[in-house]
Homo-oligomer: A and B are copies of this chain.
Amino acid sequence: MATARERVRQELTREILEAGRRQLATVGPVELSLRAVAREVGLASSAVYRYFASRDELLTALIVEAYDELGDAVERAEAAVPRADHGARWAAVCTAARAWGLAHPHEFALVYGTPVPGYVAPRSTVPAATRLPRLLVALLRDAVAAGRPAPVTPAGVPAGAYGDLLEIMGPDVPADRAVLGMEGWTWLVGRVGFELHGHLVGVVDPARADAAYAWEAAAMGTALGLT
CB distance from A158 to the nearest CB of B (A): 4
Residues of B within 8 A of A205 (CB): 160-163
Residues of B within 8 A of A179 (CB): 212, 215-216, 219
Copies in the complex: 2
In contact, A156 and B198 (Cβ under 8 angstroms): no
Stretch from A11-19, A53-61, A140-148, A186-194 forming part of the interface with B: A186-194
Interface residues of A, count at CB 8 A:
58
Convert A192-227 into 0s and 1s, putting 1 for each residue whose CB lies closer than 8 angstroms to a CB of B.
Answer: 011001110011110111011001101110110001
Which of A158, A193, A211 has most B Cβ within 10 Å?
A158
In contact, B194 and A186 (Cβ under 8 angstroms): yes
In contact, A187 and B187 (Cβ under 8 angstroms): yes
Given A160-B205, A161-B205, A164-B202, are A183 and B216 also a contact pair (CB < 8 Å)?
yes
